[in-house]
Structure 1
Amino acid sequence: MSPSTSTAAGSAVRGNRLALLVVGLCWLLVFFDGLDMFVYGSVLPHMLETKALGISPGKAGDVGSYATFGMLIGALCSGTLSDRVGRKQTIITSTAVFSLASALCATASSLGVFSIGRFVAGLGLGGLLPSAITLVAEYAPRGRRALIVGSLMTAHQAGGILAGFVALWTDSDWRLCFWICVTPLFIGVPLAIKYLPESLNFLQTKGRTAEAAALADRYGVELAAPGINRPAGEGLGALAALFRGKLWIQTLFFWLASFGGLLLVYGFSQWLPSMMRAAGYDLGSAIGFVIAINAGGIVGMLVGGRLADRFGGSRISAIWFACTAVGIGVLSVHMPLALTYIVVFLTGLFLFSGQAMIYATVAHRSTDENRGTAVGWVSGMGRFGAVFGPWLGGRLVDNGSHTAGFTVFALAGVFALVFVSLTGLRSLQPAMADTSGAGAPVSMAS
């Protein structure tokens, strides 16, 4: 082996080691993100049964919407914040915010204070995920971006699984569950402060070239040429590009599909335990369904992207939403417990990755100049569904008809199916292709 070949190999190893460090730390933080996001739905049946803080189904839906509205604001602000103070600082701050907000929820003496805690938690939860995805994508080894980003997304569902176990282990002691959600402040934040590297793009853009060069040299990462890291399309110009020619039709269809998809993700997943409890299942089983649906989500994230690469994101996403609608409809019928767990698992497999493939398809069809804007806005518009879904679920459960809840959420799946199918029309697709990992499942909460 020649000296130059040996040096290149050593640089690649060091670059992979840095990527592994970034992915590992971000995976841990996103895992805590998923725990905090899903713990409310896991303890909600017990809170409703004991009327904790005077909560009712209608008020519980409002509280869930406060959290997702906070996520909407957090997600929209995270880009500007990370450009100003850096990816690392945004990630650390977001994690600290939702951890401290969980402490506020754990000590809440009234539903109003608890609601404020969930809203503030949403700010942190919404700000973490986009920044973590960006940082991981920047450090992903060349040719492995899809695999790395897809792997990161499994952390959110893994956190949802832990939320179910936490509720079971603590016998649904909701205050203790929220105290457990404070642990990222003492584990994740210190680790990120000490070991998480800043974005090389950010360092170069801010003129901290010496710091960027030192970090790149330490891990054998290749620095981009000056100016490459600045986005070519920004602000209103990039947004206007999404509406040129026939693209406005495709943009609108993607926004509507994302609205339906996130309505399902946050509405159905939050209210699943309560609706299953109302359908006649015991409390332990109802919480166990949270574990099952998130386990299905992990499998779906890994399978969906591979199929989308081969057959097209819009096509697979449409099939996934169709299967989600069928699964939710089937759950309205009381079945043997083992069969119910299987249906819940399969529904989760299709539900979460169906929404993720909307983002993947948008990224695939966008140009380098407006990709960030396109994905950001389809996520932002979808967040309105994330706000509406928990509120809608609360109203349906408050009316005492769990069957109506399953029906309405199944129809939301059909709604998303229709519009994501329309985006697959050849006449609406731009004549370009992106080969940089287009099929990667992108986060559902970004």
Structure 2
Amino acid sequence: MKSTRNKWIVALCWLTVVFEGFDIVALSASIPQLIDTSYAGITALDATFIATISLVGVGAGAVLIGPISDRFGRRVPLMICVLVFSVFTILFPLMPTIALLATVRMIAGLGMGACMPVAITMMQEAAASNARAHSATITMTGYHVGAVAASLFAILAHADWHLLFYIGGALGLVVLPFMWAKLPETHAVGLKDIGTKAPKSSMATLFTGGLARSTIGLWVAAFMGLLLVYGLNTWLPQLMRGAGYNVADSLVLLLILNVGAIAGLLLGGRIADKRGVKGTTMFWFTSAAVLLALLSIRMESQLLLNGVVLVTGFFVFCAQVLVYGFVGYIYPKHVVGTGMGMVAGVGRLGAIAGPGLTGLLVASGHAYPWGFYLFAGAALLGMLAVAIIPKPAAQKDVDEPVLETQEA
């Protein structure tokens, strides 16, 4: 991506994914304060409901935005979603009742959930035809940057939890004018000088023309991938405590896991584009399964444990994102947005299932080692799901230039 326009796509799409990472951690970091202060009468059960309904909104947003962006272009729908997410994020701390808190979070989730698949799709459309996996993994590094930023702000804000939501929403509003002025359209039907309408796309389109096997494989792989990501990020400290490691070490291991994730995202996409996205994704899921099973064995050496967790993060998080990279190689251009949205939306069900299933193991006293067996099994199922997807046809190494920017 050498042109100035493509640089703006990279920067602005990356930032939209940063917002999601920031928001997820902002809510997680705020929940203890909400419960401790009984804000709006919130209990632990209420907080769980608010967090869950937020993820439901995220999943629904991802599913709904696909056909819309295929039909009307990427640029304007993305800006509308950023606006919705930003406004309702700012409104969240101002809501006086649990019902309103949950409603606002669900609407904010709709906007946020729609942002990520559109951002990844735009990055893939602006990338060279043989760099689509790398474009997806680079975009998703923003999630972890946002998560780290929110963690730091949470430490500084402490009891002033509402500041996290004001900051997160304000960042989106600040970026919006730059999107309006600088973000080009990457999908032909969104350009004013193209008179033809895009062919209709819907979920049914993803099962026609020999795409059914690929669609099912992508959905299952995305589900398993996000089950791993959210399950580990939610429960890894508790699993490690169950294994006999102290609390401080458990929290450090969570940080190490995410450092490994960033490294995996920076390298995994390039390898997938060079060596083949199918084989690379299968190898990543298989490696994740082996390493997760290995973590079920207690390690006395802290250095060895840190190393295993680091490499686990390298493979687990990138395996899930490589599924997104698959989309740009599998689907025809006029249904890429729909395909990406559905993959992201079905994956969000895994994001809900992962913490839920692991939480049941924690509650029953069987979190260690069975939590790691659960994760290893999910990784193996992810690998098998990828195995049923036909290998994408070889693509020429041709840069597809982004068309003219639409000015306001």
| TM-score bracket relative to the smaller structure | 0.7 to 0.9
Residue 383 of structure 1 pairs with residue 348 of structure 2: yes
Choose the corresponding residue for 2:118, options 108, 128, 131: 131
| Counterpart code for 2:9 | V
CA distance in 1, matches of 2:271, 2:71: 37
Secondary structure of 1:200's match?
Answer: coil
How big is the shift at 1:248?
3.1
Counterpart residue number, 2:25: 38
How big is the shift at 1:206?
6.3
Counterpart residue number, 1:179: 163
Moved more, 87-96 or 126-135: 87-96
| Counterpart code for 2:6 | A
| Counterpart code for 1:134 | T
Choose the corresponding residue for 1:299, options 250, 263, 283: 263
Written as runs of structure 1 = structure 2, the 5 A alignment for 1:327-338 is: 327-335=291-299, 336-338=301-303
Moved more, 313-322 or 181-190: 181-190
CA distance in 2, matches of 1:367, 1:380: 19
Choose the corresponding residue for 2:272, options 298, 304, 308: 308
Written as runs of structure 1 = structure 2, the 5 A alignment for 1:353-392 is: 353-392=318-357
Written as runs of structure 1 = structure 2, the 5 A alignment for 1:216-365 is: 226=194, 230-232=197-199, 234-235=201-202, 238-241=205-208, 244=210, 247-281=211-245, 283-335=247-299, 336-365=301-330
Secondary structure of 1:67's match?
Answer: helix
Secondary structure of 1:187's match?
Answer: helix
Would the alpha carbon gap of residues 399 and 305 (structure 1) be closer, same or farther in structure 2, given more than 3 Å must change?
Answer: same
Larger Rg: 1
Counterpart residue number, 1:152: 139
How big is the shift at 1:113?
5.4
Would you say the 8 A contact 1:292–1:345 is kept in 2?
A: yes
Counterpart residue number, 2:372: 406
| Counterpart code for 1:200 | E
How big is the shift at 1:155?
0.9
Would the alpha carbon gap of residues 419 and 150 (structure 1) be closer, same or farther in structure 2, given more than 3 Å must change?
Answer: closer
Would the alpha carbon gap of residues 98 and 274 (structure 1) be closer, same or farther in structure 2, given more than 3 Å must change?
Answer: farther
Residue 28 of structure 1 pairs with residue 12 of structure 2: no
How big is the shift at 1:129?
1.0
How big is the shift at 1:406?
2.7
Choose the corresponding residue for 2:56, options 47, 53, 69: 69
Moved more, 36-45 or 403-412: 36-45
CA distance in 2, matches of 1:410, 1:60: 29
Would the alpha carbon gap of residues 365 and 72 (structure 1) be closer, same or farther in structure 2, given more than 3 Å must change?
Answer: same
How big is the shift at 1:283?
4.9
CA distance in 1, matches of 2:225, 2:61: 19
CA distance in 1, matches of 2:83, 2:118: 14
Structure 2 unaligned blocks of 5 or more: 400-408
Structure 1 unaligned blocks of 5 or more: 1-11, 210-225, 439-446
| Counterpart code for 1:234 | S
Would you say the 8 A contact 1:33–1:125 is kept in 2?
A: yes
Moved more, 276-285 or 258-267: 276-285
Counterpart residue number, 2:394: 433
CA distance in 1, matches of 2:316, 2:160: 29
CA distance in 1, matches of 2:17, 2:66: 17
Residue 200 of structure 1 pairs with residue 219 of structure 2: no
How big is the shift at 1:341?
3.4
How big is the shift at 1:365?
3.3
Would you say the 8 A contact 1:22–1:136 is kept in 2?
A: yes
Counterpart residue number, 1:222: none
Would the alpha carbon gap of residues 351 and 281 (structure 1) be closer, same or farther in structure 2, given more than 3 Å must change?
Answer: same
Would you say the 8 A contact 2:264–2:314 is kept in 1?
A: yes
Would you say the 8 A contact 1:19–1:139 is kept in 2?
A: yes
| Counterpart code for 1:25 | L
Counterpart residue number, 1:442: none
Would the alpha carbon gap of residues 134 and 370 (structure 1) be closer, same or farther in structure 2, given more than 3 Å must change?
Answer: closer
TM-score (ref. length: structure 1): 0.73
| Counterpart code for 2:43 | G
Residue 188 of structure 1 pairs with residue 153 of structure 2: no
CA distance in 2, matches of 1:133, 1:17: 18
Counterpart residue number, 2:44: 55
Would the alpha carbon gap of residues 420 and 237 (structure 1) be closer, same or farther in structure 2, given more than 3 Å must change?
Answer: closer
- Alpha-carbon RMSD: 3.8
Would the alpha carbon gap of residues 407 and 282 (structure 1) be closer, same or farther in structure 2, given more than 3 Å must change?
Answer: same
Would the alpha carbon gap of residues 328 and 305 (structure 1) be closer, same or farther in structure 2, given more than 3 Å must change?
Answer: same
Secondary structure of 1:259's match?
Answer: helix
How big is the shift at 1:296?
1.6
How big is the shift at 1:73?
0.7
Would the alpha carbon gap of residues 300 and 50 (structure 1) be closer, same or farther in structure 2, given more than 3 Å must change?
Answer: farther
How big is the shift at 1:126?
0.5
CA distance in 2, matches of 1:50, 1:285: 28
Would the alpha carbon gap of residues 301 and 63 (structure 1) be closer, same or farther in structure 2, given more than 3 Å must change?
Answer: same
The number of residues matched between the two structures is 394
TM-score (ref. length: structure 2): 0.79
Would the alpha carbon gap of residues 133 and 371 (structure 1) be closer, same or farther in structure 2, given more than 3 Å must change?
Answer: closer
How big is the shift at 1:429?
4.4
How big is the shift at 1:433?
2.8
Counterpart residue number, 2:403: none
Percent of aligned positions with the same letter in both sequences?
Answer: 30
Written as runs of structure 1 = structure 2, the 5 A alignment for 1:103-118 is: 103=90, 106=93, 114-118=101-105
Higher relative contact order (CA 8 A, sep 6+): 2
| Counterpart code for 2:148 | I
How big is the shift at 1:43?
6.1
How big is the shift at 1:75?
0.7
